[in-house]
């Protein structure tokens, strides 16, 4: 699986809530440097916690506004839409054999 296809599949979990896909797409060695509340998360359970936190307030829709992928890495600008808000983020992903092993991300400032 290419990095582009892998990142699209991983991001789809946030929209669909299909947590069972995590085992196929996320490596147990996964590290989320952004994490939750400023604390890094590890493994599939860490990824699952992030998905659950994002979906805790209801349905979320993602729009990939830009994506660059090469070899085992991808950089993505994402719009996250829920009933209450719209957020824009930059997400950096690293994959090994098509499975997510590392993530860094940041929320972008609100545009005027």
Domains in the chain (CATH in brackets) are 3-107 (3.10.450.50)
Pairing of strands 73-81, 86-96: antiparallel
Question: What is the rounded (10 degree) CA torsion for 56, 27, 46, 107?
Answer: -70
Share of the chain above pLDDT 90, in %: 90
Q: pLDDT digit string (tens) for 44-93?
A: 999 999 999 999 989 999 999 999 999 999 999 999 999 989 999 999 99
What is the model's pTM?
0.93
Looking at every residue in the chain, the average pLDDT score rounds to: 95
**Residue 111 pLDDT > 80:** no
Q: How many angstroms separate the CA atoms of 45 and 77, rounded?
A: 24
Give the model's pLDDT for residue 23: 97
Q: What is the pLDDT of residues 97-110, one digit of tens each?
A: 999 999 999 999 98
Q: Coil, strand or helix: which one is 28?
A: strand
The string of DSSP codes covering 41-77 is EEHHHHHHHHHHHHHTTS--EEEEEEEEEETTEEEEE
């Amino acid at each position: 699986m290419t990095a582009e296809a892998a990142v699209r599949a991983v991001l789809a979990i946030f929209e669909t809530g299909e947590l069972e896909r995590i085992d196929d797409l996320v490596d147990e060695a996964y590290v989320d440097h952004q994490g939750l509340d400023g604390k890094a998360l590890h493994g599939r359970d860490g990824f699952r916690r992030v998905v659950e936190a994002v979906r805790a307030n209801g349905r979320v829709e993602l729009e990939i506004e830009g994506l660059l992928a090469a070899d085992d890495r991808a950089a993505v600008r994402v719009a996250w839409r829920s009933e209450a808000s719209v957020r824009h983020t930059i997400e950096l992903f690293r994959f090994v054999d098509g499975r997510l092993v590392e993530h860094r991300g940041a929320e972008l400032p609100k545009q005027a």
